[in-house]
Amino acid sequence: MKNKKKVEDIPFEEYLRKLEKIVHKLEEGELTLDESVKVYEEGMNISKICLDKLNKTKKKIEQLVIESEENYSTKAFSEKEGEDTINEL
């Protein structure tokens, strides 16, 4: 058995390709009923995964503050503060 990759590790585009393949398979119309029900369920599942992937990240605009070679922090991005930072460098 191959090690199954985690859903998070498989990129969105791969799922999209799978979904397109499923559409193609179904449109060919050569599947048995059992198969097409299975494939249909797989398709619905994948489209849900895709949607989840699209909604997974949270909006976040942060600014990196490098304090030393090993230390850094992040803070909310603001243009003016950015200006200060650049002046410090």
* Positions that interact with other proteins (CB under 8 A): 11-13, 16, 19-20, 22-23, 26-27, 29, 31, 33, 36-37, 39-40, 43-44, 47, 50-51, 53-64, 66, 72, 74, 77, 79, 82-83, 85-86, 89
The half-sphere exposure of 62 on its side-chain side, counting CA atoms within 13 A, is 10
User: Is there a contact between 46 and 15 (Cβ–Cβ < 8 Å)?
Assistant: yes
Q: How far is the CB of 41 from other proteins (least distance, A)?
A: 10
Answer positive or negative: Cα dihedral of 75, 76, 80, 82: positive
Smallest separation (angstroms) from other proteins to the CB of 3:
21
